[in-house]
Each structure stands twice: as C-alpha cells, then as structure tokens.
Amino acid sequence: MWPKTHLTDLPGVKHPIIQAPMAGSTTVELVAAVSNAGGIGSMGYSETPSATIREDAQKIRTLTDKPFNLNFFAHDAPANKPEIIESARERLRPFYSAAGLSEIPQDVSKPLLTFTEERLELLLDIKPPLVSFHFGLPGSAAIESLKKAGCRILCSATTTAEAISLEQSGVDIVIAQGWEAGGHRGSFDVNHDDHGVGTMALVPQIVDAVNIPVIAAGGIADGRGIAAALMLGASGVQMGTAFLSCAEANVSDVHLEAIRNARDDDTRLTKAFSGRPARARRNNYIESMAAQRLALPDFPTMYTLSDPLRKASDDTLDNRFLLYGQAAALNREMPATELVQTLVAETRNLLG
Amino acid sequence: MWPKTHLTDLPGVKHPIIQAPMAGSTTVELVAAVSNAGGIGSMGYSETPSATIREDAQKIRTLTDKPFNLNFFAHDAPANKPEIIESARERLRPFYSAAGLSEIPQDVSKPLLTFTEERLELLLDIKPPLVSFHFGLPGSAAIESLKKAGCRILCSATTTAEAISLEQSGVDIVIAQGWEAGGHRGSFDVNHDDHGVGTMALVPQIVDAVNIPVIAAGGIADGRGIAAALMLGASGVQMGTAFLSCAEANVSDVHLEAIRNARDDDTRLTKAFSGRPARARRNNYIESMAAQRLALPDFPTMYTLSDPLRKASDDTLDNRFLLYGQAAALNREMPATELVQTLVAETRNLLG
C-alpha cells in the first residue's frame, strides 16, 4: 500500500510518517517512540547548545536502533536597523507593563545560532540518519559533506519554486509545507507578502516539478489526511500538531487545553513573537501587533525581545505563543506508539 | 469506487464532480457538456435578469436531460456609509486617470440582486434539480419551498461553524470551500478577518461535524485531488478553475493566458474589486489597494465602482479581476466532456 520511497527504503523505517521537529515541544522519548513504531521521529533545534544535541542523539540511540531525524533552522543572521528595534520596543512596552514586567531585553546582539561550522562538525560526528532544514539550506559544502557522511537531507518548501531550488541544491527529499501547518512557515524569503499555498494545491504541483520524493505537511491529522496526501502523489507525510497531544510531548497545560478546544479557524500567521511568520493560536497580542502592521526586527531578534513576555504569561492565552495547525481539533490524546499504530491502521483501512 | 451520496443517488448523475458556477465564465454549453458527461454542470448568477435565467434553463434542458445546478449569491443588501463610498472614490481616482477614464460611477444605489422573492418564484417555476447558494442562505421559507419543489439545496461553508449552521438550516449538501479556491470566498460574515482554512484541514472537520454529504472544493485540479478529497471523507468535489480552460468556458484571452502562466503563489484574496474577499491573480491594483488597508464599500457596491476600470483594462494584468485558484497551473485545455472523462479515469486509476 505505501509507495516505495527513499524513506521506506531506509532500513528500519516501515511507515513514511515523519513526526515534525517542533523545537521545544519534542522530547527524545517522543522521537524514539515514533521511530520504534516504524515512523521517523525528529528533534528540532534552534539555540540548543551542541553538547545537549550530542547528549540527545546518544539518548535517542539508547532508546531506539531505528532511524531518526535532527532538524535545524538555516536562516540568515539578522540584520536589523536600530530604529526597527527601537520601534519594536515601543510597541512591546504596553504589553510588558500590562504583564507587570518592566525590562524589555537590551542585549539583542546574540542571535539564535544559524547553521554554523560547529553544527556541521557536530553532525558529521553524530551522523544522524536524516537531517532536515527549515527556512532554506546552509551552504552547498555543508550539504555535500552531510550527504557524504550518509545523512539523508530533507528541507521544507512552501512553494513549487522553493522545491525546485532545493532539488537543484542536492536535497534528497522535499517537505511540501502547506498553509495549514502549525508553527513557523519554512519560506526562504520573508520579506515579501506570503499568501500561503494550501496543501491540496501545493503537493501535486511540487510532485510534478521535482524528481525527488515529496513529503506532504499541513492539515494532516489522521489516516484520512495521510491517504489523501498519498493520492496527491506524496511519498509520505510530516505531522506535527497531531503529536503535540502525545504523552511524550513537552507541552504546557495551557497549550494542551488550547488544542482540546481548538477550532479550524482559531489560528493565524504571526511574526509578532519571533520575527518570522508562524501559525499560532490567535490572541490579543498577536491581533494587536498585526493591526499595527509595522516592520518588526528579523528572526530571531524579535524572539529575544518577546521572550520575557512569553515566559511571564498567566493562565490566559493573551501573550502565549501557542503553535498548532488548522486541523488541531482532530487531535487524539494517546501515547506516540499508539498514535502511529492508529494512523497506519486508519490509512490501511482507507486504501483497502 | 465512488461513495454513495445524495449526488450519485440523483438519476442521471454518474460522477460526483460538480463544475463550479463561476458567474460570467460559465456558459449553458459548458453546463450541458459536464452534465451529459455524468457530472453536474452549474450556472452562476448575480445580477442576471430573471428572463435570461429562464432562457438559460430552457437551453440547458434542450442540450441535456441530466441534472444541473443553478447558483445564486445570498448576500445582505449593502449598507454603506457615504464617507466609505467617498473614500473609495478617492482611492480609485488615480487608477481611473491612469487608465484614461474620468468617470467613476455616481449611481451606486442599484445593488446587484440579492436572492429576492422574484428569484424564488422563478426557481419554483424552473425547478432546477439542484440549487446552490454562496455567501450564506436566503430565509428559511425560501429553502423550505425549494425543497418541497424537489430541488436539492447546496451551500458553501468556509468553516466548520458555517457548515453546522447550514445543516441546521436544512441544506441537503454542504460545499466545504477551502482557502485554495479561486473566486469569491463563500464566508457568511466578511466583517471579521478571514485567515482561511485549507481544504486538507477543512474537509475532515466538516465531515465529522455534520450528517449531510460534504463536497470538497479548493485546490482540486485533477484525479489526484479528487481521490484525495474522497479519502478525506468528501462525497464528491466541486471544481471551478479546472473548467476555465475548457473550450466551452467564457474566458478572455488575457485570463486564459494568465492561467497558462499560473504559479501556485500568484493569487491572493482581494476585496478591491467587489467588496468581498475573492481569490484572484495578483496585480498592481490589488496590491496597491491592499497596501492602503482602508475599509471598502460592501459587496456589490465596490463592484459597481470598479466596473469601468475592469472593463477598460488593456492587455496587461493591471486592473483585471482574473479569478482562479492555487492549482491553476495544473489546468489542461480540452473540451469539458473530455475533461470529465479524464478526471474520472485518473481517479479510478488511483483508487484501483
């Protein structure tokens, strides 16, 4: 029933279901459970120290002998005009005051790590079976080294043009990330308006445009979504939100409760927390910042500026950065092993 | 292979493929060709005189003995503040000047017809096998009369909440219109921000929420999209853009050429032509109006105001209101009969 792909060709991979990286919400236990169940677990990293990543990989390998994926943001270093940072501070001030905070971070010089030479050396040492990138790719030398080391390279594309450029850069598998997806959009360039291509339209166009396998992502919540993605020509799926309700996920009570009450239209894209468009639960902060429609500092400077505000959030949704996709209302709360088994059974049942 | 639905239960309907109404771009020949091929053709009407609708129905019935659908907008009459109309004129002026036009319409008192008592009487007389609505529904008495007269009632929903309210209003079949769809969004209320639910997320949530059949629309271009929609639980599909490239469609050369060159991300939602959000080819007028982000007159007053501008368009895309969806690049140019046959063959091939 499953099409043969680079993914199911990998020894140990039975089901072309990738649990999406979701930096901060994923645990090594979640990754190992998904990989042990025959899917592919992914850890997502942004500013995590390399020592932690090394420990994580060791831990994953004690928990499973199956393939897993490590994910990294490959964004440019921020290049902020001081006046943009100043205006962001102005806009943040009332939210900080209302939250009883006085100190908006002054030091925004330390960006979250981009994909550095140190990261590359680390990965060449760890040799994870799969390495995926978001926001584009690191340089071609890095890609070449990783491939030589035996890593399969995956990267997100939000348009057909991005997918074509990924294939030309030597990526093994492209992740077609549709508009519905929760979390950060993988768009390479965020300096132009993004009107968002939906998964149903995006996947077949990318499938037609490239000769590498295509993984569908965005709005896929259950076996129906997986079967639909396969019909569109995808070789598998990447699902994030669905795994947020697994016992192994690192998700706050407020986040879990928001997902329990989720509606199809209660999220929107926002740059107001990180500086890059991400799909998150709508709230007062997000709507207010969007209404002002001013330029914001680049990712991840805006993340630094909003950090204390997010962390000081009370039990309401007001200043929370709660990432999930448009199909969160279909989530089931169960251990990851059971979720993978359920997804496979549902898909098999539909594909006959 | 096709699930049994209210649609395929109708005598004469073999394939649950509805050709979308697309007022202005659909012809009686297109409708009849689709219905004769075993799908369901639809004529869409806005301000069309009732006498023309009566003639169209007669013509369709001479061309086919199969079921067809007549579609109507069910919007509230516009309630514009004079200052909003004045500000729209101000904003239109430079575009009118650049196009060599001086006269922005003064008389905006005549709205395009909403679904009036006269329309209801006409339909009770014509008794089309299917009647579909967009932008919500007319009153419950109208729905009841049409159902008593033997018409099946369809209506678009862009959210699960809208779909539930349609079922409660007695609608027979709900059309789940995803973000990807070309043309006007079917949203009932356009006074709140619409962040757009993609087809992949929308369809299964509506399927779970209602007990009536669900038709998937948005981003469906070929048999892959149809098979995917069925996997999501839809009982059939409504496809608009795909039929714009049929010989029988009433499409300008500029429109057809734009579709030939379409990319997945070259459309966006715009209120700038009609006053209601519609997915159309991006151009200078649309982007400029969006950048100003001011309130616009209600539908269809804005349509009246932009009418001479659209009609005076030169061979460029600049002031054109070219409606198509995010999968237009997958269009094939062929007669409608052949397109339906191709879609059915592709879908059968995938579903085995």
Are residues B213 and B135 located together in one domain of the fold?
Answer: yes
Q: Choose the mutation target among A177, A265, A350 for the interface with B, i.e. most B CBs under 10 Å.
A: A265
pLDDT at B1 > cutoff 70:
no
Alpha-carbon distance of A119 to A137, in angstroms, equals 13
Give the contacts of B9 (CB within 8 A, at least 6 positions apart). none
Give the contacts of A44 (CB within 8 A, at least 6 positions apart). A20, A21, A22, A23, A24, A26, A71, A72, A134
Helix, strand, or coil here: A171?
coil
Cα of B73 to nearest chain A Cα, Å: 23
The pLDDT of residue B315: 80
pLDDT at B97 > cutoff 90:
yes
Are residues B281 and B311 located together in one domain of the fold?
Answer: yes
The pLDDT of residue A132: 98
Cα of A214 to nearest chain B Cα, Å: 14
The pLDDT of residue A111: 64
Say if the Cβ atoms of B201 and A326 lie within 8 Å: yes
DSSP state at residue B24? T
The pLDDT of residue B112: 63
State the pLDDT confidence band at A10, using cuts at 50, 70 and 90.
confident
The pLDDT of residue B96: 96
CB A85 within 8 A of CB A108: yes
Say if the Cβ atoms of A178 and B200 lie within 8 Å: yes
Range name among A19-23, A119-123, B189-193, B196-200 with the lowest pLDDT average: B189-193
CB B330 within 8 A of CB B142: no
Say if the Cβ atoms of B220 and A200 lie within 8 Å: yes
* Terminal-residue alpha carbon distance, chain A: 8
Q: What is the pTM of this model?
A: 0.97
Q: Is A146 inside a domain boundary?
A: yes
Residue pLDDT, tens place only, B102-141: 889 988 877 667 899 999 999 999 999 999 999 999 999 9
Say if the Cβ atoms of B202 and A160 lie within 8 Å: no
Neighbour-count burial for A213-236, b at 16+ CB within 10 Å, e otherwise: bbbbbbbbbbbbbbbbbbbbbbbb
Q: Is B1 inside a domain boundary?
A: no
The pLDDT of residue A314: 77
Give the contacts of B74 (CB within 8 A, at least 6 positions apart). B114, B115, B133, B134, B135, B136, B137, B138, B155
Are residues B60 and B154 located together in one domain of the fold?
Answer: yes
pLDDT at A112 > cutoff 80:
no
A244: number of Cβ within 10 Å? 27
B181 vs B103 pLDDT, higher one: B181
Are residues B139 and B170 located together in one domain of the fold?
Answer: yes
The pLDDT of residue B316: 84
Say if the Cβ atoms of A202 and B325 lie within 8 Å: no
Say if the Cβ atoms of A197 and B233 lie within 8 Å: no
Range of the domain at A207: 6-76+114-262+324-351
Are residues B300 and B212 located together in one domain of the fold?
Answer: no
Report how many domains make up chain A: 1
Q: Summarize the confidence of residues B309-322 as an average pLDDT.
A: 89
pLDDT at A73 > cutoff 80:
yes
Say if the Cβ atoms of A231 and B233 lie within 8 Å: no
Secondary structure string (H, E, C) spanning A239-303 = ECHHHHCCCCCCCCHHHHHHHHCCCCCCEEEECCCCCCCEEEECCHHHHHHHHHCCCCCCCCHHH
Cα of A71 to nearest chain B Cα, Å: 25
Query: Exposure of B256 by Cβ count < 10 A (0-12 exposed, 13-18 middle, 19+ buried)?
Result: middle
Strands B130-134 and B173-177: unpaired
Closest CA to A234 of A250, A249, A251, A215: A215
Q: Is B84 inside a domain boundary?
A: yes
Q: Is A85 inside a domain boundary?
A: no
pLDDT at B171 > cutoff 80:
yes
| Beta bridge partners of residue B237, listed in sequence order | B17, B216
Alpha-carbon distance of B92 to A71, in angstroms, equals 48
Closest CA to B42 of B142, B200, B143, B154: B154
Q: Out of A178, A196, A205, whose CB is closest to B329?
A: A205
Alpha-carbon distance of A124 to A23, in angstroms, equals 21
Q: Is B37 inside a domain boundary?
A: yes
Are residues B57 and B29 located together in one domain of the fold?
Answer: yes
Kindly report the average pLDDT of chain B as a whole number.
94
Q: Out of B159, B201, B282, whose CB is closest to A325?
A: B201
Q: Out of B194, B225, B269, whose CB is closest to A200?
A: B225
Say if the Cβ atoms of A180 and B193 lie within 8 Å: no
Residue pLDDT, tens place only, B211-239: 999 999 999 999 999 999 999 999 999 99
Q: Summarize the confidence of residues B324-348 as an average pLDDT.
A: 98
| Chain A residues inside the 8 Å CB shell of B329 | 160, 205
Checking B75-79 for CB contacts under 8 A at 24+ apart, the result is B75/B114, B75/B135, B75/B136, B75/B276, B75/B299, B75/B300, B76/B114, B76/B298, B77/B111, B77/B114, B78/B111, B78/B275, B78/B297, B78/B298, B78/B299, B78/B300, B78/B301, B79/B298
Q: Is A235 inside a domain boundary?
A: yes
The pLDDT of residue A3: 66
pLDDT at B27 > cutoff 90:
yes
Helix, strand, or coil here: B167?
helix
Say if the Cβ atoms of A224 and B202 lie within 8 Å: no
| Chain B residues inside the 8 Å CB shell of A325 | 201
pLDDT at A171 > cutoff 70:
yes
Q: Summarize the confidence of residues A12-30 as an average pLDDT.
A: 96
Cα of A113 to nearest chain B Cα, Å: 30
| Chain A residues inside the 8 Å CB shell of B265 | 159, 161, 194-195, 197
| Chain B residues inside the 8 Å CB shell of A193 | 268
Are residues B160 and B284 located together in one domain of the fold?
Answer: no
Say if the Cβ atoms of B197 and A218 lie within 8 Å: no
Q: Tell me how far CA of residue A271 lies from CA of A94, A150, A184, A278, in angstroms.
A: 18, 36, 9, 6
Are residues B150 and B225 located together in one domain of the fold?
Answer: yes
| Chain B residues inside the 8 Å CB shell of A218 | 198, 200-201
Q: Out of A194, A198, A205, whose CB is closest to B198?
A: A198
| Chain A residues inside the 8 Å CB shell of B193 | 268
Q: Out of B179, B233, B350, whose CB is closest to A198?
A: B179
The pLDDT of residue B51: 96
| Chain A residues inside the 8 Å CB shell of B350 | 231
pLDDT at A8 > cutoff 80:
no
pLDDT at A219 > cutoff 80:
yes
Residue pLDDT, tens place only, B260-304: 999 999 999 999 999 999 999 999 999 999 998 889 999 999 999
Are residues B18 and B107 located together in one domain of the fold?
Answer: no
| Chain B residues inside the 8 Å CB shell of A178 | 198, 200
**Strand stretches in chain B, DSSP E:** 17-19, 41-45, 68-73, 130-134, 152-157, 173-177, 183-184, 214-217, 236-239, 267-270, 278-281
B86 vs B103 pLDDT, higher one: B86
A199-209 and B223-231 helices cross at what angle (nearest 10)? 140
The pLDDT of residue B9: 79
Are residues B152 and B222 located together in one domain of the fold?
Answer: yes
CATH of the domain at B125: 3.20.20.70
Give the contacts of A285 (CB within 8 A, at least 6 positions apart). A95, A272, A309, A318, A319
Closest CA to B60 of B31, B91, B81: B31
State the pLDDT confidence band at A114, using cuts at 50, 70 and 90.
confident
Are residues B171 and B105 located together in one domain of the fold?
Answer: no
State the pLDDT confidence band at B173, using cuts at 50, 70 and 90.
very high
DSSP state at residue B202? H
Are residues B211 and B282 located together in one domain of the fold?
Answer: no
CB A279 within 8 A of CB A241: no
Alpha-carbon distance of B227 to B2, in angstroms, equals 10
Say if the Cβ atoms of A263 and B352 lie within 8 Å: no
State the pLDDT confidence band at B157, using cuts at 50, 70 and 90.
very high
* Terminal-residue alpha carbon distance, chain B: 8
Report residue B342 as tokens: 């191709």
Q: Choose the mutation target among B208, B237, B265 for the interface with A, i.e. most A CBs under 10 Å.
A: B265
Q: Out of B232, B265, B293, whose CB is closest to A293?
A: B293
Tell me the count of A-B CB pairs closer than 8 A: 153
